[in-house]
Structure 1
Amino acid sequence: MLMRIALSFILAGLGWALVACSPLPESHASSQKLQPTSSQQELLIVFSGNTLGELKPCGCAKEEDQGGIERRMGYLKSVVPEGHALLFVDLGDNFKEPTRQGRIKARYLMSAMARMGYDAVTLGDRDLLYGNEFLKKQEGLPWLTSNMRIKGMDPPRYRIQTYDNGLKVAVLAVADPDLFYVSGHSQITMQDPATAVRDLLPEIAQGGQPDVVVLLTHMERKKALKLVDIDGVDVVINGHIEDESDTIDMQAVRKGQKVFAQAAPLGQKMGELRVTVYGEKKTYEHRMVRLDSKIPDDAGMTALHDEYNQEIEALFFETLKAKRAKDRTQVYATESTCKTCHAGAHATWSDSRHAHAYATLKEVNKSFDPECLKCHTTGFEKPGGFISEIDTPELKNVQCEMCHGARLDHSRAPQGGFAEEARGACSQCHVPKHSPNFNYETYWPKIRH
């Protein structure tokens, strides 16, 4: 559990930016800051979301070398505010795909988040990917669901936080039923989000009206923006992502005494929303913090990630036996055969990064990770493709047939007509997360052959 030690929160140099004051959501103008007084109370809301299983950035592209549990914890230990309260929340969609590796990754991510000391975690549609029983086993996660009932689970519908500075904060969390019904989750029942919030606010007020009401939402941005209009809600923070390559508008929006903010994709940035309360007046300052190499890695999270790597390595070797037992009919000619007729193209390839792709995995001790091997070897998890460095050393690296398809038959009876396949092959690995600046027209000249 993250220890909230009393470190100074140095505002100078942090780059705080006042969010919009004009009507939602057309324009953005600066708001006037309140002058500090003894009656002024402050709350710092730190938020994450849309992690999609990203325990650590792969490092393939410096532009997208952001995020990861090591930097998230390193950041959190440096953001311990002095003079105002801290609310730490997550907007959901922490899991990605129903694979064995995905499940292992989800378990380690939940363990990491439990140690970080979140105050509330929203359930996104992807978070039920492994079922209710999986979630129940993840200890230390403060799930919050205001409009959702889950079979076998009973998370609270809201939380009340009272801080040493006297500030009282209510936190609710709602999700869009359409996302869950489309995903086929049959173990849940859901209420209309706006109705659920309006029903709960009077109950919350019975114990004394909160100074700040924070509504966490998991839905499309346009839908979440409408919930800002609910009377009694001060802050709406939204999270949801359809695909890891989605572009997310992270600009905060202000409407009167209210504000809307959006979580970043893949846990690459942490959101900070500083709320200043003076009587019935509130001001907001918002920024997104890049979790890049400037953020120090936390040693405890590094150790946890090392444990994950060990488990994935064990899984890799466990599956080798089954792969070796399958029909291993040769379908790839390999680059050594291709160069017989295509010497010039082979020379160009030999000087490219494609020809050394496997070595880059060895350098970072990732030559056992299936998520990496599929783009650093030839034909991994395809019939006749790469199995391991020992079994199929001839299929290491991104060879000709990663772009042109398995062509053993072509080497025996040459014929053309498949060059165009290469263009489409690029997009299988050159995705925004790994290659954000990829453009075929500019990259192709570097390997033209």
Structure 2
Amino acid sequence: MGATLKIGRRAELLLVVSCAVALAAPGCRPYPELAVNSPPRPLAVIVSCDTAGWIVPCGCSSKQAGGLLRRATYVNQIRGGADVLLADAGGAPGGVAPYDRLKFAAVLRGEAAMDVSAHNVGAAEAELGAAVIRDLARSTGVSFISTNVRDAEGNPLVSLSRVVTCGSQRVAVLGVLSPRYARPGLQVDPPGDAVLKHVTTLKGAYDQLVVLAYLPEEELELFVGQVPEADLVIGGPTLQSIAPRRTGPTTWGAVTNKGKFLAHLQRDRPDLEWTGKIVELGAEIADHAAQEQNLRDFREELARVDFRADQTSFAPRLARDLPAGFEVAGVEACMTCHVDDCTEWRETRHAHAWQTLVEKSSHVDPYCQHCHTTGYGLPGGFTSLASAELLGNVGCEACHGPSRAHSLRPATQTAYNARDRCRSCHDVENSPEFEFDSFWDQIAHGLPTNPAKVE
């Protein structure tokens, strides 16, 4: 009797440990204990795509959507009533420069805090190369997957798939990348063939098959027809988000545009069909506290590193043979002739653009710096926080171009046509209500106050 009791207790202990491991799997959090014979909770699959480095909307417009802070809040709300598998279909980095890599690491830490189950290798991830992706996987703990991308030696770039237990369901998650995004050092196999081949190795190991597909729209729809084994296919990048729809046995859709949208697929019971919707992460969704801390940590790191403009992807590409005097001279040089214009400028929002960043603690971020400074990355222009005192606002040369030559000999034309420069910062994203004619009238200025200086 004693031996039997001991074995029974051990079996009970093993059962408890096994359940804890399954429930702790990324993306499927523990939920309150359910009554015996209670119905299973709904299963929700939530997918993001094309975050493009947007940890948070820049804040230039109150109507901006997206950001990890809102994403986490939405996911947690759904977790209150469903078992959630959270995944990313790829396209999360904003580039390959040192700044972009640091920001991508912060994005991944944010995903890890949300218990993301899988992060597919998209085009932007592939651009970083095998060594960087593998290093980020180790340092952040995020589970990268790719079923059809191999390194230069032909080995899988990362895990081919993941099987995650969500409540009573085992969900296999695979990921594919379009061959058009192949790059040196990486081999990209045909997505359909790779999925069908790998699925045979998972037979009996899953209840639901989800494929994250970083494919252009025309490839995405063809791919869905090639993999009828898939229950769900969620992709991007597409010109716009595609609301979930059904083709044969597969429900599919797509999300895109800087992580402003999520695809939310849900099945309330195993015997019901999948339903879904595209969710816009608008300002009505509150910021999540843990993600706010992640943002603060990222900004503190930016302040310590203080990236130069040439360590980002925002500095303009310059010709090798620049004309003599192609250098930022500064507002004080402009004051020599254009006293009235410069005096009027000091009362404009352009002259206080840097302060608006300081008030939001975003002045440390090069993404914000390049539109709130003068001559970002140009000769004599803003280079890093160290140059903020003199060049930390939108001065004359932000629109007229580096004008050292003009300041020395006013008959020399300024480098840029100012009318062509507005949209470089006042784009649809940052200034959705920008209307050129009315805005131009607000900054109109003209002839030099001191014409005697003009040669």
Name which of 111, 114, 129 aligns with 2:112.
114
Name which of 346, 364, 378 aligns with 1:368.
364
1:419–1:112 Cα change, 3 Å: closer
Cα distance in 1 for residues equivalent to 2:288 and 2:357:
23
Point out which structure has higher relative CO (alpha carbons under 8 A, 6+ apart). 1
How much has 1:198 moved relative to structure 2?
A: 2.4
Alignment of 1:418-433 (within 5 A): 418=414, 421-433=417-429
Secondary structure in 2 aligned to 1:74?
helix
How much has 1:258 moved relative to structure 2?
A: 3.0
How much has 1:278 moved relative to structure 2?
A: 5.5
2:290 is aligned with 1:287: no
Tell me what 1:446 maps to: 442
How much has 1:275 moved relative to structure 2?
A: 2.8
Cα distance in 2 for residues equivalent to 1:372 and 1:274:
37
1:416–1:120 Cα change, 3 Å: same
Cα distance in 1 for residues equivalent to 2:184 and 2:269:
40
Cα distance in 2 for residues equivalent to 1:117 and 1:275:
20
How much has 1:355 moved relative to structure 2?
A: 1.5
1:163–1:123 Cα change, 3 Å: same
Which structure has the larger Rg?
2
Letter paired with 1:159: R
Secondary structure in 1 aligned to 2:370?
helix
1:448–1:169 Cα change, 3 Å: same
How much has 1:447 moved relative to structure 2?
A: 2.3
1:429–1:421 Cα change, 3 Å: same
How much has 1:202 moved relative to structure 2?
A: 3.7
Q: Which deviations, in whole Å up to 9, do the C-alpha atoms of 1:25-59 show, x marking residues without a partner?
A: xxxxxxxxxxxxx9897421111121122222221
The answer as to whether partners of 1:228 and 1:234 remain within 8 angstroms in 2 is: no
Unpaired runs of 5+ residues, structure 2, are 1-25, 33-37, 311-324, 446-455
Tell me what 2:79 maps to: 80
How much has 1:80 moved relative to structure 2?
A: 0.6
Q: Which deviations, in whole Å up to 9, do the C-alpha atoms of 1:142-182 show, x marking residues without a partner?
A: 222222223576633333344434x34332211111212xx
Letter paired with 1:146: T
Tell me what 2:195 maps to: 197
Name which of 188, 207, 214 aligns with 2:210.
214
How much has 1:357 moved relative to structure 2?
A: 0.5
The answer as to whether partners of 1:2 and 1:77 remain within 8 angstroms in 2 is: no
Tell me what 2:15 maps to: none
Q: Which deviations, in whole Å up to 9, do the C-alpha atoms of 1:284-303 show, x marking residues without a partner?
A: 1313131x443333333322
2:231 is aligned with 1:251: no
Letter paired with 2:74: Y
Secondary structure in 2 aligned to 1:376?
coil
Cα distance in 1 for residues equivalent to 2:302 and 2:142:
24
2:58 is aligned with 1:46: no
Tell me what 2:318 maps to: none
Secondary structure in 2 aligned to 1:409?
helix
TM-score, normalization by structure 2: 0.76
Alignment of 1:38-437 (within 5 A): 42-64=42-64, 66-82=65-81, 84-137=82-135, 138-139=137-138, 140-150=141-151, 155-165=158-168, 167-180=169-182, 184-186=183-185, 188-204=186-202, 206-207=203-204, 211-229=207-225, 230-240=227-237, 247-276=239-268, 279=271, 282-290=273-281, 292-316=282-306, 331-339=327-335, 341-343=337-339, 345-346=341-342, 348-387=344-383, 393-415=389-411, 418=414, 421-437=417-433
The answer as to whether partners of 1:124 and 1:240 remain within 8 angstroms in 2 is: no
1:51–1:390 Cα change, 3 Å: closer
Unpaired runs of 5+ residues, structure 1, are 8-37, 242-246, 321-328
Tell me what 1:26 maps to: none
TM-score, normalization by structure 1: 0.77
Cα distance in 2 for residues equivalent to 1:99 and 1:274:
38
How much has 1:446 moved relative to structure 2?
A: 3.0
Q: Which deviations, in whole Å up to 9, do the C-alpha atoms of 1:223-280 show, x marking residues without a partner?
A: 1111222322232100237xxxxx523333333543221123212232211234554x
Q: CA RMSD in A?
A: 3.3
1:47–1:276 Cα change, 3 Å: same
The answer as to whether partners of 1:253 and 1:261 remain within 8 angstroms in 2 is: yes
Cα distance in 2 for residues equivalent to 1:352 and 1:447:
8
Secondary structure in 1 aligned to 2:421?
helix
